[in-house]
Amino acid sequence: MLYSEIFRSIQGEGIYTGVPTVWLRMFGCNLECNGFGQKDPTDPASYVLPYQEIDLTDITVPEELPVFSYGCDSSYSWSKKFKKLQRKGTPEEVAKELYDMMYDSKTHIAFTGGEPMMKAAQKNIIKVIHEIKKLFKAENEWNYYGPKYNNVITNITFETNGTRPIEKDMWNLIMADSCTQETEYFFSVSPKIFSTSGEKDRICPDIVKGYQDACGMFDQYQGSKDPQGQLKFVCNGTDQSWDEIEDAVASFRHSGVLYPIWIMPVGATEESQNKDHVSRIAEQTMDRGYNVAARVHCYIWGNQIGT
């Protein structure tokens, strides 16, 4: 399987902010989102895209790349230009690396990208999850002094743009784990709006409802009403971006998606998070009854690759 990186950090955005997390960033995405950070995200002719111009002669791994201020800040995880920098490994190898990075008693795993809900990515992720479960089981069977970790993966997050449907095999895995109360699956959905990302017609309520329905069994058996997900919009504070967000929220609600709403001010770097527009967007977010999402990892590590 092909992937960009494995690392451990915290979750920096949304409900799980601050939680120690191990990450697998998949390679490949169906979107480009070149509008992020641009002066006019709706005008592709005006885009500045440093990821297309960078010289890779002396770069051998994604961690040696800078954080791109314009366009998608993780373009290295989907652009063909960076394919030669990606890693390859068997599901067994990837699972072992993730497992070895886990914090004691903190078993939150996040699959990100790229786009982890691409069809091929889902197939590989399922294999990785099965292999990690084997490692948990072996640890509990052979450690005389007690398990190093709990005997199950407690939380798994998918960070997705919400445009790729859940496949049958993934649905079956989530349903089976929910019935046994083994694992909570959580979908962090970042719908892309035109006025910030440059992507058109990327709001897919029925697909996201499929994620919510797949996780419904966990709520049933745990006696919880938490829909096990969130909608996280990037906003630049313009009337157009707010109108698009409100229209999208209405569409999701009409389709029965109950995820709470988080608004994240646009900006991929620590410096961009300290600009005046951030506080203004935060105030507007609270006025509209939504949650404010900061990029906490940016303040700590500057959003460098691998953090």
Q: Which domain holds residue 60?
A: 2-301
In the numeric block, which tokens belong to residue 245?
Answer: 């967000």
Q: Is residue 32 part of a domain?
A: yes
Q: Is 306 inside a domain boundary? A: no
Residue 20 forms part of a structural domain: yes
Q: Are 277 and 284 in contact (CB under 8 A)?
A: no
pLDDT of residue 165: 98
Query: From edge to edge, which strands make up the β-sheet containing 2-10?
Result: 87-88, 2-10, 20-26, 108-112, 155-160, 184-189, 229-235, 261-265, 291-292
Alpha-carbon distance of 240 to 193, in angstroms, equals 10
Flag whether 123 is in a domain. yes
**What pLDDT sits at residue 270?**
45
* H or E segment and range at residue 225: none
Residues 6 or more apart whose Cβ sits within 8 Å of residue 71: 32, 33, 34, 35, 36, 37, 38, 47, 48, 49, 50, 51
C-alpha 125/C-alpha 147 separation (Å) is: 24
Rounded CA separation 127/158 (Å): 15
Which contiguous run of DSSP H or E holds residue 280?
helix 276-287
- Give the pLDDT confidence score for residue 90 in this predicted structure: 98
Residue at 77 is within a domain: yes
Distances 193 to 43, 196, 275 between C-alpha atoms, Å: 14, 6, 21
For the domain that residue 14 is a member of, what is the CATH number? 3.20.20.70
β-strand pairing of 20-26 with 108-112 = parallel
pLDDT at site 178: 78
Which tens digits make up the pLDDT trace of 259-306? 999 999 986 444 444 567 888 999 999 999 999 998 776 666 666 676
**How many structural domains are present in the chain?**
1
Task: Provide the H-helix boundaries in 87-145.
Answer: 91-101, 119-142
Q: Does any domain span residue 307?
A: no
Comparing C-alpha atoms, which of 162, 159, 168 is closest to residue 77? 159
Joined together, the tokens standing for residue 147 give 């398990």
Residue-wise pLDDT for 124-154, tens only, equals: 999 999 999 898 877 765 554 454 445 567 7
Structural domain includes residue 217: yes
pLDDT < 70 regions, the chain: 104-106, 140-152, 217-225, 267-275, 297-304, 306-307
Strands 2-10 and 87-88: antiparallel
Residue 54 lies in a domain: yes
**Per-residue pLDDT, 67:** 87
Q: What is the pLDDT of residue 136?
A: 83
Q: What is the pLDDT of residue 141?
A: 59
Asked if 87 contacts 94 with a C-beta cutoff of 8 angstroms, the reply is no
